[in-house]
């Protein structure tokens, strides 16, 4: 009974995060900080059913690169990434459930401009204003810095009502990145590896960001 109730709570919070903006989500958890643990307990339970977790792939990617790279983990959850690598990792999330985490809305972080080598979004492009999270990553990244995105596959599957991955990538490239590689091989998530352009576009033209379908978890 208790598990059922908290499962329902998790699904409600999950849907909330996908259907509100980052600052609304920040205020919501400021008023109800205890719900963040309910959300994460449910999230971890869902992840147990995934054959592979994207955070492990990103961990491996970092281990295959220099440990001197400074990382910003946007929407870090329980900050597993920071605990798994030698790199300096700025862990950012709405609530700091560990002293190492910076509590903020990730569209507005306290990180310095051009100070980070790798910006990570691992299943965290959740807000309706997700483009402002990517804009913030662009700001904090050094020129030629990496942007790594792992997202739930169904959110970017036009056959099931998701956003068009090509439009998504086109928008990110217009923002100021170049595509390095993508990986659609995993059943549950897609991975994109991009780099911040050396020189940024001077004109800030209107970018057409596709809507990403909320990932609604089934009742188990
Ligand atoms: N990256 C972690 C956690 C993914 S769950 C992992 O792979 O295990 C998604 C996380 O993004 C949640 O912890 C949620 O609180 C966070 N998040 C969503 N919107 C956010 C925002 N606007 N600012 C900061 N964190 C956000």
**What does the pLDDT look like over 12-66, one tens digit per residue?**
999 999 999 999 999 999 999 999 999 999 999 999 999 999 999 999 999 999 9
- Reported as a single tens digit per residue, the pLDDT across 149-185 is 999 999 999 998 999 999 999 999 999 999 999 999 9
pTM listed for this prediction: 0.96
Q: Please tell me the distance between residue 203's alpha carbon and the centre of ligand 1 in angstroms.
A: 30
**Count of residues in the chain:** 220
Residues with CB under 6 A from ligand 1: 17, 22, 25, 43, 55, 75-77, 80, 92-94, 105-106, 122-124, 126-127
Delimit the domains of the chain by residue range: 1-196
Pull the structure tokens for residue 207: 């970018």
Choice among 43-47, 69-73, 198-202 with the minimum mean pLDDT: 198-202
| Ligand 1 pocket mutation, candidates 79, 84, 126, criterion most atoms within 8 A of CB | 126
Bridge partners (DSSP) listed for residue 102? 92
The 8-class DSSP code of residue 117 comes to E
Strand partners of residue 120: 73, 148
CA-nearest residue for atom 17, ligand 1, is 75
Q: What is the average per-residue pLDDT within 116-130?
A: 98
- CA 22 to chain CA centroid, Å, is 12
Measured on CA atoms in the order 96, 145, 81, 193, is the torsion positive or negative?
A: positive
CATH code for the domain defined by 1-196 = 3.40.50.150
pLDDT at 219: 72
């Amino acid at each position: 009974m208790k598990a059922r109730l908290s499962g329902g709570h998790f699904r409600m919070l999950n849907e909330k995060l996908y259907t509100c903006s980052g600052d609304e989500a920040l205020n919501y958890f400021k008023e109800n900080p205890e719900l963040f643990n309910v959300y994460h307990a449910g999230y971890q339970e869902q992840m147990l059913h995934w054959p592979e977790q994207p955070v492990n792939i990103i961990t491996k990617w970092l281990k295959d690169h220099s440990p001197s790279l400074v990382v910003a983990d946007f929407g870090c959850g329980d900050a597993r990434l920071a605990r798994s690598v030698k790199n300096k990792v700025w862990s950012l999330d709405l609530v700091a459930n560990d002293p190492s985490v910076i509590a903020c809305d990730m569209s507005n972080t306290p990180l310095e401009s051009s100070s980070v080598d790798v910006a990570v979004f691992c299943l965290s492009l959740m807000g309706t204003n997700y483009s402002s999270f990517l804009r913030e990553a662009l700001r904090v990244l050094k020129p030629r810095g990496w942007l790594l995105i792992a997202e739930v596959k169904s959110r970017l599957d036009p056959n099931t009502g998701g956003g068009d991955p090509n439009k998504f990538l086109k928008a990110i490239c217009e923002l100021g990145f170049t595509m390095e590689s993508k990986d659609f091989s995993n059943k549950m998530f897609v991975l994109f590896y991009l780099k911040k352009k050396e020189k940024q576009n001077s004109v800030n033209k209107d970018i057409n960001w596709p809507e990403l379908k909320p990932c609604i978890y089934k009742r188990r």
